[in-house]
Amino acid sequence: MAAATDGTVPALRVAVLGCGVVGTEVVRLLTTQADDLAARVGAPLELIGIAVRDLEVERDPAVDRSLLTTDAEDLVTRADIVVELIGGIEPARSLLLRAIASGAAAVTANKALLAADGPTLYSAADAAGVDLYFEAAVAGAIPLVRPVRESLTGDRIQRVLGIVNGTTNYVLDEMATRGLELDQAVKQAQELGYAEADPTADVEGFDAAAKAAILASLAFHTRVSLADVHREGITGITADDVSSAERTGHVIKLLAIAERTDGGVIARVHPALVPLSHPLAGVRGAFNAVFIEAEAAGELMFYGRGAGGAPTASAVLGDLVSAGRHRVHGGLGPSESSYAALPVLPISGALTRYQVRLDVADRPGVLSQVAAVFAEHGVSIEGVRQTQDPARSVRAGEHPEYVAWLIISTHTAPEEALAATVRAVSTLDVVHRITSVLRVEGA
């Protein structure tokens, strides 16, 4: 960018789309940190407009109402850098594409859009020769996208495993520490502003799956979309599952896992038992943490606030400074790297350990019948715990027949073999019910 004849560098015009939880904090930082940001970018950042849906909504005093507009389409064509904080697919995608086509750099926190249609944004940015940054789309404030996309790009990442949804981590933590049922903990998360009025995206794992898709794409230089990610939420988890996990030395976490296997890449999101000794077990409340295993770097762990206005705005501002510097000094951030194009495999190919809880008749020979089914399916049992539940005893004929609670832990087994084992075990007469089947990770 050319300096004016008096030596000053013209301001970069910044448009912010969305003035909600994150947008408000971005606007605040743009105002309060203006001098520092100008020094870091090499030019002042001039906020030229803030697009919203409704001009009448009450706003934080940090927001200059004269900058608000409902005409986002016009706003994006007048900016050097467009920051998209609306969320969802449309109109966010069309607005970003319009901004890029008119030569603006794009910064977004929109994981849903990137996971659904990232390649369209990448190729538009490539064609226009502009930056596309999205640090805030995964794990809020935690620098994670840049380390994977840039710092580790000389290494070979094998596995990414983490807690990337703060709402569900808060819910599971409350269930574990305060004995709450899931719906009570979700209600509490809503009251504290962690969960949305409609918490589906969080509790059903969609938010974490979008982040898993983004991380898998970056880590393995392969296009992985939301549809490629196996997804299970936490709605099936009960207070009983949580307390049983604790009795076996585990805690339940909603994990996002992306791994390189012999045949390709597998990305999955599901609740899992994590040993209490594992660092992820200690991630409390709404915090996020992500483990990365890379061939040369070894194990790395990233930890911090994965959500919230100010933490997320921190990541957005980092991207804004990077894009701004490129405008002033030249250069471009990384473009899409999908050269490896590894096959994206279903979860049936995943290898993991399991814990199966079941209620069985407590009489001679039951354990051997159950164990035989595991053996028939090639699933190796690592350990069995049995406790009797007198409260749930039933009478069979003349003799009392007690119900035993079994917890069977397996060695690593293929997903398909375990599923077949559970189906077969559930048909045995001596098995009253399968209480839960959970994967064990991080052991």
Compute the C-alpha angle 260/262/265, nearest 5°: 35
Pick the catalytic residue: 111, 187, 211, 253? 211
Answer for which of 96, 172, 234, 307 binds ligand NDP (CB under 6 A) is 307
211 as an active site residue: the answer is yes
Residue 140 Cβ vs ligand NDP, minimum distance, rounded to whole Å: 5
DSSP 226-282: GGGSEE--STT--HHHHHHHHHTTEEEEEEEEEEE-SSSEEEEEEEEEEETTSGGGG
In Å, how far from its chain's centre is CA 1? 37
CB of 158 to ligand HSE, least distance (A): 25
Residues that bind ligand HSE (CB under 6 A): 165-167, 194, 202, 207, 306-307
| Min dist. Cβ of residue 307 to ligand NDP (A) | 3
Binding partner selected for residue 165 from ligand HSE, ligand NDP, none, CB under the kind-specific 5 to 8 Å limit: ligand HSE
Q: What is the DSSP letter of 178?
A: H
d(CA 209, CA 207): 5
**Angle of the 34-41 helix axis to the 21-32 helix axis, nearest 10:** 80
Q: Which of 16, 30, 52, 360 binds ligand NDP (CB under 6 A)?
A: 52
263: Cβ contacts below 8 Å, ≥ 6 apart: 343, 345, 349
Nearer to ligand HSE by Cβ, of 175 and 431: the residue is 175
Query: Residue 143, exposed/middle/buried by CB under 10 A (0-12, 13-18, 19+)?
Result: middle
Give 310 or 332: the residue with its C-beta nearer to ligand NDP: 310
The secondary structure of the chain in percent helix, strand, coil, rounded to multiples of 5, reads 40, 25, 35
DSSP state of 349: G
Of 13, 76, 110, 228, the one binding ligand NDP (CB under 6 A) is 110
Site for ligand NDP in 12-31 (CB under 6 A): 17-23
Smallest gap from Cβ 115 to ligand NDP, in A, equals 11
52 or 370: CB nearest ligand NDP: 52
Q: Which residue is nearest to ligand NDP (CB)?
A: 20
CB 199 to ligand HSE: min, Å:
9
The catalytic residue positions are 211
Contact residues toward ligand NDP (CB under 6 A) are: 17-23, 51-54, 57, 72, 85-87, 91, 109-111, 136, 140, 307-308, 312
